[in-house]
Structure 1
């Protein structure tokens, strides 16, 4: 039997590389697995040998102890891999194919999947619509920060790269297709970014930088990124973004200095529920970003909200926040006729187009998010550095495919 090592959440602030079972075509019991999913046959699945598997800011919420994730939950929903085994019912995906795995697990059969709403598939998570690999309350599908991972509904879920050699030349860019590039693009498109738009993006982490990259790709005239981390702001400036230093206070005045007016056409929340207030030493204030975006977005505009919000946060600042109840100025949004789009990005809606943009040299997403490959055994260090604010997108390299 082939060995399999994986990155697991142990307790708040701690991850470890552990030994886990090699995948089989059946969902087994384990940390976070919904009992209704135990024993579920996966003859429609494949087993991937992992080529790249990224550390995500969403993973960090769990690792910080800000969710109800159980100990030993295997992490990792940003997966790129080579097919090494196919299930009995797989028809089109073959051994040797190099594929991107959308972080949403979707059946391809339910009403939502047929309407391209793959982030809220009705058949893969007994708890609620929507599922993902290695994530709390998402059905218990084992994460992909590992040597090998099981991918269900493979003919539907996998995006096969058309030329393996060509794909390997751009593999660090293509590794961003599993989540952050489509998620950033979803944030930008749902905010209404188009040719000539002025755009404000809250957060200069990898998703924020991916949203900024997407805004440029969509033809925005000015892309402004706000954050408190100067290293991340410098990364945004490196590919043509304007920046706002939120340690200096509210963004409105700095936006006016850039644009001549204190508002933008479109806005993206790439921060989520661990938002902080503005100014030096600002403390956590989870509604800050959403209320600020409503304030600075022009009437009739839209907010794309790929930033994660949860219904259970043990570390919330008050009882309301612990249940995901935030003090939003919804009256502001109503008065200005603003539109909001929240929830998981339906990755399959965008990943093929973005793959073609990468393969044809229209975008350099790995450079823009400062992607860096590290060995699987260095995952705890990568998590710690990312949590400390490193302006880096860490890509784990479990099987030595990456240089």
Structure 2
């Protein structure tokens, strides 16, 4: 192969599709040099992308709200066909169609042994944890591309058992790389169970995935809050209640109108650090959602926080926000004995079980998030429309596999 086309960040609001070298079975220079390990990766596989998605986390970079440099390759939601294997890969086979967790993990360190694959110690010299195509995450090439290299393939690849069935359900299965496990992790760590009442802040794809996951976990009522009418309508399309945060008024009062009481059993922050205050034209206020969910979650509740918070935000509203320091009412959470679950979702804890739900018609995640297919050359338009609040989850189809 002579090259590999991949989506590249070109500065705030701009992406392009560029041709780079075809992947090699080698670790990134940052990883090999920084950790003092061999660059050769006989444990790796190369995948031909079947589907790769635009994520809200990517959008933070493209908005210029991270320290991502121009030239950063993008994409960490990867589903593909194995086309090349290193000599040390024992169990994956060429032709397998697989989901790839967005967290890159070695399968050999203490964190991986404990199932905490989002904070693997051997894939990023800068900090615990790594991801494809993301700033400060180890220098791994992004997966919004034609081809991608996956290290530690026997550990990281989730093989779909039947190729034809996988292709038939690919719009659902492509969500296993990130947002379905991430949304499920948010709901699960919030303690959602049979009969729970649940509030999910944010009706973007992760919020919708969390809402669908809460339904699967047995919630009696799931209420989704957002400011965009189309996204609220999407939440209602699969049985959620909604509250419109573009209208003035206290969140507790809005919930009381739906539930008959001003609090919920479990709450999820699926918005993150670019949160805004309530009401028309509200300014950015990054602690809004964290404070909201503490205010409406009952005493003793758990709070799931899959929404992204960063340590470097050039566009932060003040000097504190620029380093990820936000005005959380921790005293309120302490007084109510809340517990908080944050950080990257450890995808491997959930993806196989969620795959089984999809394959056995128990989960309809593509419908919940309104999966919409676009070509690789349509990535710039997809990012632009997503940034404008489209109630869609954009699925890039680099090889025109999905339709045909």
**Into which bin does the TM-score normalised by the smaller protein fall?**
over 0.9
Structure 1 residue 363, shift from structure 2 partner: 1.1
Q: How many Å separate the matches in 2 of 1:80 and 1:196?
A: 34
Confirm or deny: 8 A CA contact 2:207 2:270 kept in the other structure: yes
Q: How many Å separate the matches in 2 of 1:271 and 1:282?
A: 15
**SS state at 1:146 partner:** coil
Q: How many Å separate the matches in 1 of 2:253 and 2:322?
A: 32
Structure 1 residue 43, shift from structure 2 partner: 1.3
**Where does residue 15 of structure 1 map in the other structure?**
15
> What's the CA shift string for 1:200-232, capped at 9, x where partnerless?
000000000000000000000000000001000
Q: How many Å separate the matches in 2 of 1:37 and 1:50?
A: 28
> What's the CA shift string for 1:227-263, capped at 9, x where partnerless?
0010000000000000000011332111000111100
**Where does residue 339 of structure 1 map in the other structure?**
339
Asked if 1:111 is matched to 2:106, the reply is no
Confirm or deny: 8 A CA contact 1:225 1:244 kept in the other structure: yes
> TM-score w.r.t. structure 1 length?
0.98
Gaps of 5+ in 1: none
Asked if 1:361 is matched to 2:386, the reply is no
**SS state at 1:142 partner:** coil
**SS state at 1:290 partner:** helix
Structure 1 residue 316, shift from structure 2 partner: 0.3
RMSD across aligned positions (CA): 1.2
Asked if 1:286 is matched to 2:286, the reply is yes
Q: How many Å separate the matches in 2 of 1:156 and 1:33?
A: 18
Q: How many Å separate the matches in 2 of 1:143 and 1:152?
A: 13
Poorly superposed stretches of 4+, deviation over 4 Å: 32-35
Confirm or deny: 8 A CA contact 1:37 1:139 kept in the other structure: no
> TM-score w.r.t. structure 2 length?
0.98
**Where does residue 157 of structure 1 map in the other structure?**
156
**SS state at 1:73 partner:** coil
**Where does residue 57 of structure 2 map in the other structure?**
58
Paired residue for 2:34, among 24, 30, 36?
36
Structure 1 residue 35, shift from structure 2 partner: 5.5
Q: How many Å separate the matches in 2 of 1:343 and 1:13?
A: 26
1:99-248 matched pairs, under 5 angstroms: 99-248=98-247
> What's the CA shift string for 1:378-401, capped at 9, x where partnerless?
000000000000000000000111
**SS state at 1:319 partner:** coil
**SS state at 1:300 partner:** coil
